[in-house]
């Protein structure tokens, strides 16, 4: 009985320390989703990490950015904190133009440089290269150094810090939509998680103390019985002597 209680105690203590972490996927070929990321449909009772919720749509992993919309998650490297995203509309330079990461836990993985998006009514000569997915027959969009004077046929749309100016050699799909997440945020969350773990340890220790107390009480009862038995025997012995 005591051994059983002791085993129960050890088991409780261990399971409170070893927290089972769930890894899931939207698809067999998709990236593994685990802390700090979480699939949105799986509530599992504990609070989601704001900004780290991903959703599964048609077996594709998506992450939602309020400033842009849904971006597909191509891969996540948890070691280097690198999330590689793809634009479902296949226009990374539209994403760069619109994505505002200021209220998210993310920032660009690559070093940024300011570029001005120019919208021109006529094509600019070489070496300017228009961004195909933002251009049409009536307008031509370029990403240029903000220090450059704006050509007369163009107007500046916006100057934004982005990883690269457009180059036909950097295919929209493979290129730079890589984000990283704040280690500071992760640390803060780590501390919160750490306090959950310490609460579990406290519960575990309390359980152990309780079990140990029960164990000691049961021993002292037995010792008491033994002592009483011995006293009775001694009394009987003494009695037999006096009778004698
Ligand atoms: C998602 O994956 C499952 C299992 O691999 C498959 O049966 C289903 O057709 C897929 N759905 C889509 C929309 O690709
Ligand atoms: C990004 O969003 C923040 C907060 O909503 C806002 O203050 C900031 O001006 C935005 N930045 C750009 C470049 O739009
Ligand atoms: C881009 O320009 C803004 C405004 O001039 C400046 O505050 C910011 O530091 C620049 N960003 C980069 C990455 O150079
Ligand atoms: C999170 O906490 C563990 C131990 O509590 C520590 O080893 C790890 O370095 C922490 N991670 C961060 C990002 O602070």
pLDDT single digits (tens) 35-62: 888 888 655 555 567 889 899 999 999 9
Residue nearest to atom 5 of ligand 3 (CA): 114
Taking 60 as the threshold, does the pLDDT of residue 10 lie above it? Answer: no
pLDDT computed for residue 12 by the predictor = 55
18 pLDDT tier (thresholds 50, 70, 90): very low
Closest ligand to the CA of 192? 4
pLDDT computed for residue 222 by the predictor = 83
Q: Quick check: CB of 161 below 6 Å from ligand 4?
A: no
Specify the higher pLDDT residue, 153 or 19. 153
- In this structure, of 104-108, 146-150, 238-242, the range with the lowest mean pLDDT score is 238-242
- Ligand 4: which of 78, 79, 190 to mutate, judged by most atoms within 8 Å of the beta carbon? 190
Q: Quick check: CB of 173 below 6 Å from ligand 4?
A: no
pLDDT computed for residue 212 by the predictor = 87
Taking 50 as the threshold, does the pLDDT of residue 17 lie above it? Answer: no
pLDDT computed for residue 96 by the predictor = 93
- Counting beta carbons within 10 angstroms of the beta carbon of residue 61, is it exposed (0 to 12), middle (13 to 18) or buried (19 or more)? buried
Closest ligand to the CA of 30? 1
Instruction: Transcribe 2-65 into DSSP letters.
Output: HHHHHHHHHHHHHHHHS-----B-SSTTSPPB-TT-EETT--TTSPP-TT-EEEEETTEEEEEE
Mean pLDDT of 228-242: 75
Determine the Cα–Cα distance for residues 44 and 31; give it in Å rounded to an integer. Answer: 20
Taking 90 as the threshold, does the pLDDT of residue 84 lie above it? Answer: yes
Mean pLDDT of 17-28: 65
Residue nearest to atom 13 of ligand 2 (CA): 100
pLDDT single digits (tens) 112-156: 999 999 999 999 998 899 999 999 999 999 999 999 999 999 999
Taking 70 as the threshold, does the pLDDT of residue 240 lie above it? Answer: yes
CB within 6 Å of ligand 2 — which residues? 100, 102-103
| 8 A C-beta contact, residue 174 and residue 87 | no
Taking 50 as the threshold, does the pLDDT of residue 20 lie above it? Answer: no
Q: What is the mean pLDDT of the chain?
A: 81
pLDDT computed for residue 224 by the predictor = 78
Determine the Cα–Cα distance for residues 239 and 154; give it in Å rounded to an integer. Answer: 121
């Amino acid at each position: 009985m005591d051994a059983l209680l002791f085993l129960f105690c050890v088991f409780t203590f261990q399971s409170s320390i070893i927290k089972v972490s769930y890894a899931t996927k939207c698809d067999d070929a998709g990236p593994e989703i685990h802390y700090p990321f979480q699939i949105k449909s799986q509530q599992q009772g504990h609070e989601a990490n704001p900004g780290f919720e991903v959703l599964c749509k048609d077996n594709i992993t998506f992450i939602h950015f309020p400033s842009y919309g849904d971006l597909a998650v191509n891969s996540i490297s948890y070691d280097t904190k690198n999330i590689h995203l793809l634009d479902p509309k296949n226009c990374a330079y539209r994403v760069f133009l619109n994505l505002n990461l200021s209220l998210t836990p993310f920032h660009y993985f690559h070093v940024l440089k300011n570029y001005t998006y120019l919208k021109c009514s006529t094509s600019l000569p070489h070496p300017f290269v228009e961004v195909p997915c933002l251009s049409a027959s009536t307008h031509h969009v370029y990403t240029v150094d903000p220090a450059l004077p704006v050509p007369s046929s163009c107007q500046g749309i916006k100057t934004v810090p982005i990883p690269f100016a457009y180059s036909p050699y950097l295919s929209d799909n493979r290129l730079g939509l890589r984000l990283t997440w704040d280690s500071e945020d992760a640390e803060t969350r780590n501390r919160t998680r750490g306090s959950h773990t310490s609460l579990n340890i406290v519960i575990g220790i309390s359980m152990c103390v309780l079990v140990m107390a029960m164990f000691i009480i049961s021993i002292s009862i037995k010792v008491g019985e033994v002592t009483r038995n011995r006293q009775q025997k001694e009394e009987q012995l003494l009695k037999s002597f006096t009778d004698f």
